[in-house]
Amino acid sequence: MAGRDRYSRRMTTTFDFDACVVGAGAVGLACGYALARRGLSVVVLEKERAIGQGVSSRNSEVVHGGLYYPTGSLKARFCVEGRRALYPFLEAHQVAFRKCGKLVVATSEAELPRLDAVAAQAERNGVEGMQRLTGAEAMALEPGLFAVAALLSPESGVFDSHGYMLALQGEIEAAGGAVVLATPLERASPMVGGGFEIAAGGEAPAELACRLLVTAPGLSAQGVAARVEGYPPGLIPALHYGKGVYFRLQGKAPFERLVYPPPIPGALGTHYRKDLGGQGVFGPDLAYVEAEDYSVDPARAAGFYAYVRRFWPALPDGALSPDYAGVRPKLHGPGEPQPDFRLDGPDAHGIDGLMALFGIESPGLTSSLAIGEAVATRLAPS
Ligand SMILES: Cc1cc2nc3c(=O)[nH]c(=O)nc-3n(C[C@H](O)[C@H](O)[C@H](O)COP(=O)(O)OP(=O)(O)OC[C@H]3O[C@@H](n4cnc5c(N)ncnc54)[C@H](O)[C@@H]3O)c2cc1C
């Protein structure tokens, strides 16, 4: 990148890169990959010293089928499209995954209408291979499980999200792009005649000019948008931090498949997964917090025991230990309806060449390749 003097306040059509992406999480890297695949030169700026240290490092690593999201929403579309693209990408790049399938279980008659609602939504969303099971059928598949009925989603799985992000970085670099670490975006100024002048901080502050700009900074989406000169403040949505904690099972993992109770308002609910290392993990729950906070309060275990025993009655006392926490970049507060992903382009904010992403919570990992494609299509239609 060039020095500060060279670019200040210039009016130019000479760009250092066609596109600059802010944030090297799964979504920013997928955007960079999609833009690079269109032949554009791409730089991804990341404030941390390594890629994937944000929301993309603290989640369930589940490939979601796309069952739950309202038909026609970006979440429904990107989850299904992203999932369909993700497995072949992982296979081609030798990134570990296990397409283990998922059981959504009703553990009481009262939950059956919620299971029916998920089944109907999954059908409307075009999710492949969904099967309705009786409790006996589900319990035969997973001995030790308790269910009065279940849905089987064979397309769901778990994967190595960090290996995935490394593969995306590799693709961007192989196309001649760059992923620049420890380099936070500080300011983006739209230039006369189009494009952006970018000021980046860190140990080696630098400026560069690019034609297109994508902001995908996860929990910093609101703060980064405010650093784009001329971004209408009224169009920056409120940020809510939706914290979720996980507990790890000491002992043998009881089930092969993911096990999810019906979703709770605002999240998919505490679920079970056998991770790629073969260990059982439960979580995340949902609690709104005022700031990023990754502590795991051991006292929350009591709630986990009660919840998990609804579908795994044999969970032994003392088997759960605090594991890790993640924070969802939510656009809604407690009790408010859950909004869609926001991919705000020039039609929303009036700034040519800019896509600003907000509220990329779950299923953002699963959706990432589809989000990247959508962003690239908007900015660089082929
Ligand atoms: C508890 C939890 C569980 C989840 N489980 C799943 C799941 O199982 N499956 C699924 O599909 N999705 C899941 N999600 C959602 C998924 O993790 C996110 O949607 C996804 O990781 C978001 O990726 P991102 O790239 O947008 O954000 P991030 O990964 O946070 O990346 C943003 C990057 O931008 C960088 N950055 C910030 N500010 C700047 C700046 N000024 N300059 C440069 N860089 C900057 C950050 O350091 C960070 O690396 C879960 C989320 C949570 C919280």
DSSP string over 112-173: HHHHHHHHHHHHHTT-TT-EEEEHHHHHHHSTT---SEEEEETT-EEE-HHHHHHHHHHHHH
Amino acid identity at 251? G
Q: Give the pLDDT confidence of 333-342 residue by residue, as tens digits.
A: 999 999 999 9
Atom 42 (ligand 1) nearest CA: 184
Residue nearest to atom 9 of ligand 1 (CA): 62
pTM for this model (two decimals): 0.96
Q: What is the pLDDT of residues 238-272, one digit of tens each?
A: 999 999 999 999 999 999 999 999 877 767 778 99
- For Cα atoms 69, 332, 33, give the angle at the middle one, nearest 5 degrees: 60
Which residue matches tokens 């309705």?
132
Q: What is the dihedral of CA 158, 161, 165, 168, to 10 degrees?
A: 0
Neighbours of 76 (CB within 10 A): 24
Q: How far is the CA of 141 from the centre of ligand 1 (A)?
A: 33
> How many of the other CB atoms lie within 10 Å of CB of 297?
10
> By three-state DSSP, how is residue 51 classified?
coil
User: Can you give the pLDDT at residue 6?
Assistant: 37
Tokens linked to 258: 């993911």
Ligand 1 atom 35: the closest Cα is on which residue? 23
Ligand 1 pocket test, candidate residues 20, 31, 55, most atoms within 8 A of CB: 55
pLDDT score at 221: 98
Ligand 1 close to Cβ of residue 27 (< 6 A): yes
Alpha-carbon gap, residue 163 to 129, rounded angstroms: 27
Q: Whose CA is nearest to atom 14 of ligand 1?
A: 362
- Whether 5 has a pLDDT exceeding 80, the answer reads no
- Please tell me the distance from the alpha carbon of residue 62 to that of residue 363, in angstroms, as a whole number: 9
Round the average pLDDT of the chain to a whole number and report it.
94
Q: How many CA atoms within 13 Å lie on the side-chain side of 178?
A: 12
Distant-in-sequence, close-in-space partners of 63: CB < 8 Å, separation ≥ 6: 83, 86, 87, 97, 99, 155, 156, 157, 158, 159, 365, 366
CA–centroid distance, residue 25 to ligand 1 (Å) = 6
Q: What is the predicted pLDDT for the residue at 4?
A: 37
* Residue 366 CB–ligand 1 contact under 6 Å: yes
- Return the C-alpha torsion angle 28, 96, 92, 171, nearest 10: 30
Amino acid 7: pLDDT: 37
- Cα–Cα distance measured from residue 362 to residue 373, given in angstroms and rounded to the nearest whole number: 18
Within a 10 A sphere around the Cβ of 356, how many other Cβ atoms?
Answer: 25
pLDDT value at 45 more than 60: yes
Q: Evaluate: CB of 48 within 6 angstroms of ligand 1.
A: yes
> Ligand 1: distance of its center to the CA of 376 in Å?
19
